[in-house]
Amino acid sequence: MKQLTFLIFLCINSVFAQNIVLSGVILDNSNTPMANANILAFPNNDGESTQFAITNDKGEYVLRLEKEVSYSIEVSYLGYQKLSFEYTALQDEIKDLSMVPKTNDLDEVVLEYKIPIEVKEDTITYQTDAFVTGEERKLREVLKKLPGIEVDREGNVTAQGKKVTKVLVEDKTFFTGNSKLAVNNIPADAVDQVQVLDNYNKIGYLKGLQDSDELALNIKLKEDKKKFTFGDMEAGGGIKDRYLVHPNLFYYSPKTNVNFIGDLNNIGVKSFSFSDYLEFNGGFGKLMDDIGGYFSLSRDDFSQFLNNTDFKANTNRFGAFNLRQTVSPKTDINSYVIANSSSTQTETNTLNSYNNSDGLINEDRTEVNDFDNFFLMGKATVEHEPNREENVTLNSFIKLTENKGQGSILTQSENQNTFFNTLQDVSALEFKQNVEYSKRFSRAQTLSLEASAAHQKNNPHNAWETDQVFLLGLIPLEEDNFYQVFQQKETRSTSFDLLMKDYWVLNNFNHIYTTFGTNAKFDAFISDERQRLSNGTLNEFSENGFGNDIDYRFNDTFLGLEYKFLAGIFTVKSGLFYHNYIWDNDQEELSVNNSTQVLLPTFDAEAEFNSSEKIRFRYRQRMQFPTIDQLGINFMLRSFNSVGLGVPDLQNGRNHSYSLSYYKFSLFRGLNLNLGLTFNERTQSAKNATVLLDGINQFVAYTMFNHPENSLNANFGFGKRINKVKLSFESRGSYNEFFQLVNSNVSKNLSRSISATGKVETFFDEWPNIELGYTHKPSVYITSTNKNTFTNSSIFANLDYVFFNDLHLKADYERTEYNNEGQNLTNIFDVANASLFYQQEDSSWGFEISVNNLFDVRFKRQNSFSDYLISDQSTAIMPRIVMFKISYKL
């Protein structure tokens, strides 16, 4: 830490040692402060960089200039004459400036440069030429140089302290709208402007009516790229038969857009992740309004494959094609297809501690898997706008997956030492049709309608093979020399949704919203387990209480009334929704019918001090209902060491959520600040009641639990940019109180975790740019009998340096120290990557040498908690990879 602190001090000291500060206030002819005026300082000698500033809401500006350098300073503001003067930076000075409105002189034609940053209400427009140097290769490198915008390593974008949820190109959604596809693939030299659109809504007249937290980036292309084919191709090879092929091709014209992104590699680069999958299904924010839908999506078998991010070996084949066609001035057709095929090898070693009233039972488990995964996703959208007051959108979705896996499990514990061969086969098909219609009848009356129908079928099959008896007393095995157990499951689901909302605008300060909706869902679930004996006969577990065949129906019909009013800086919306829930299931000779009627309140309050400073409070109450697999009247095999039994008459749970957030952003001061606090209370929930038998074997049933369980989550983010240096600090913390039901004992558990990261980052034009930081992550898990403490600490550094004009060096390094105090385990590992890219300024060809995992680290560690299980996991990662790449830019 001393070395890191010293480096940070040197970095900051070298930046500010020669700075002269010119500051003041910019006023109009009536002495009114002018917010968002642009100030540019052009150096009169070569070798110095242009300095830029923008005034805050009080008209104040700050320019940091190089000492003894002469500048031409220009001040511009829409509708005012440009103000220019010469200035030599000798000492700090306060200089107030006044601007004069333009006259309506038609005889004078003035050609002016474009304003680098223009702020208009919810839109900030950046002219990228004012910030880039020409060495940038992809959009991500352009965005990182724009004040107020950040890009992380994966390609997630934050603007003005808020996460970007959608990316547009020329006002049209780019592929799924996911930022990673755009920032990692769009060539930098095609970008003319970047627009940040806050409170984004694709339908203009719904903005201000529908609450939207969406923040969109709109990429404007250069004029010579608006009807042009552009892109690049990258290909590479390395030792041990490593390869990479990555083409990006784009064609844009006023009526037709065609995009293709491909990726073929065996170096562990994964082109489609679980977060991308969430975007395909509407995005995280939209799914959070349907918490049941989110959990259903995140827990399905396909998501488990996408969640794998660490591999021992990985071959990835990815292709994405997007076509947008303007059929008429009123109609657009947008479609895309994403396909991915991968072959993956994983290896994990896990130390599990099972907690019960008798103490801890430890298990050492090693899992090795070899997966072949394939998925195909497609979407077609027809957008029709008959007039400015009406909009119709038709969406068709399809998803097809086929995932196969084979592997092994070695489990060692006090009472068990068993080796399993495992087989997995998951296939799924999903189709969804959606229509959205909205119409503004008058300024006071607007109607929106959304209807959808969906069908999905999922068929996961599993098999376990071993030479020892397992789950003794829980599954009806017949004695044999070799044990083969097979499980087949099938889930079918058909759903219909309808949502109608009327927006009644009484005046600019009072709105009334009326909502009617219904959701009908029809599910079927089948599970079947059997043993194949050595002589070829089958031992059907159904003869001993296994096997489920469930028909499940669910309906939610609701009516809501919301009142929204504006009072000064405050916007308040309160609502009350009446829900009529009906859910029932039929299985064997049993039929269970349930219904409940509830009033669910909602409340939102926001204080907007100005466009860049807000505080918001939100309250939600939600009902949670059992999933179909929790209702099975018969036993079901959950894994090689677990058997479950459902409860057909399982009831609903109830959650309360309170959140408070504060946001402040200042482009003038280079400051962004975010604070968030969320409290969740589960007053009633369906919980696992677990019985641990013979060591690690588990029998799991379900029960309604009426004791409240609470969780508190907090986040804090601070960033301050001073000239060419940015200092930032981020922290997240969680506190959870929950109960475990193990072996008929009820005990209260606590978990606490904190993550804090501090870093410094530079943005020089000619010097090497570095990012230095430190992260500390302590976590504590407390049960009635034990306390476990885990700590992850890491120091990281990134280097980005362009030298001799044509060479671009990138490197990153992270040293992580992991401690598990309960098991007295300590692990330290270093991960580093580096690349050197060469491309002459006027050449389309580029050459690169890269090294991933420079120190050839083979494993990384992490920990996790559940009701009764504490896991310390070591996961294999890709070995050192050395590559030589060639790229060609169209």
Which amino acid makes up residue 526?
Answer: I
Nearest CA among 474, 372, 486, 374 for reference residue 421: 486
Q: Report pLDDT for 341.
A: 92
pTM: 0.84
Q: Can you give the pLDDT at residue 150? A: 83
Predicted pLDDT at 353: 84
Question: Half-sphere exposure of residue 324, counting CA atoms within 13 Å on the CB side?
Answer: 21
417 - beta bridge partners? 412
Question: Which of 399, 352, 377, 372 minimizes the C-alpha distance to 305?
Answer: 372
Residues of the chain with CATH 2.60.40.1120: 19-103
What type of residue is 602? T
Question: Looking at the DSSP assignment, which residues form a beta bridge with residue 38?
Answer: 54, 76
Give the class (CATH, top level) of 19-103. mainly beta
User: Phi and psi of 292, rounded to 5°?
Assistant: -65, -40
pLDDT of residue 489: 95
* Signed CA dihedral, 821, 824, 830, 831: sign only: negative
What one-character DSSP code corresponds to residue 253? -
d(CA 825, CA 200): 49
| Confidence (pLDDT) at 436 | 95
CA angle (145 as vertex; 19, 843 as ends), nearest 5: 115
Which helix (H) or strand (E) segment is 597 a member of?
strand 590-610
- By the 8 A CB rule, do 71 and 88 touch? yes
CATH class given for the domain over 114-226: mainly beta
Run of H or E residues at 850 = strand 845-852
CA angle, 365 then 366 then 368, to 5°: 145
Question: Sheet of 162-163: strands edge to edge?
Answer: 149-151, 157-159, 162-163
pLDDT of residue 110: 45
Where are the CATH 2.40.170 domain residues in the chain?
A: 317-889
Long-range contacts of 627-632 (CB under 8 A, 24+ apart): 627/296, 628/491, 628/523, 628/525, 628/550, 628/552, 628/585, 629/525, 629/527, 630/686, 630/702, 631/550, 631/552, 631/585, 631/587, 631/592, 632/525, 632/527, 632/548, 632/550, 632/587
Question: Residue 149 and residue 164: Cα distance in Å, rounded?
Answer: 10
CATH class of 317-889: mainly beta
CB atoms within 10 A of CB 546: 22
Cα–Cα distance list, 500 to 380, 389, 639 (Å): 23, 17, 43
| All CATH 2.170.130.10 domain ranges in the chain, comma separated | 114-226
Tell me the per-residue pLDDT of 606-649, one tens digit each, with 9 for 90 and over: 999 887 889 999 999 999 999 898 999 999 999 999 999 999 99
Q: Hey, CA dihedral for 379, 184, 170, 391, is it positive or negative? A: positive
**Is the separation of the CB atoms in 131 and 117 below 8 Å?**
no
Tell me if residue 652 falls in helix, strand or coil: coil
Maximum pairwise Cα distance, the chain: 101
Pairing between β-strand 83-88 and β-strand 70-76 as defined by DSSP bridges: antiparallel
Burial class (CB in 10 A: 0-12, 13-18, 19+), 360: middle
The string of DSSP codes covering 500-559 is EEEEEEEETTEEEEEEEEEEEEEEEEEEEEEEE-TTS-EEEGGGGTB-EEEEEEEEEEEE
Which parts of the chain have pLDDT scores under 70? 1-18, 46-47, 104-114, 271-308, 356-359, 867
User: String of b and e for 512-525 (b: at least 16 CB within 10 Å)?
Assistant: ebebebbbbbebbb
Which amino acid does the sequence have at 518? T
DSSP β-bridge partners for residue 364: 351, 412
Going 123 to 129 to 132 to 137, the CA torsion angle's sign is positive
Of 412, 419, 410, 315, give the one whose Cα is nearest residue 370.
315
How many Cα atoms occupy the beta-carbon half-sphere of 390 within 13 Å?
6
Phi, psi of 279 (to 5 degrees): -65, -40
Q: Which helix (H) or strand (E) holds 145?
A: none
Mind giving me the DSSP string for 172-237? EE-TTS-HHHHHTTSBGGGEEEEEEEET--SSGGGBTTB----EEEEEEEPGGGTTEEEEEEEEEE
pLDDT attached to residue 177:
76
Which pLDDT tens digit goes with each residue over 727-778? 999 999 999 998 888 888 888 889 999 999 999 999 887 789 999 999 999 9
N- to C-terminal Cα separation, the chain: 46
Contact yes or no for 882/239 (Cβ under 8 A):
yes
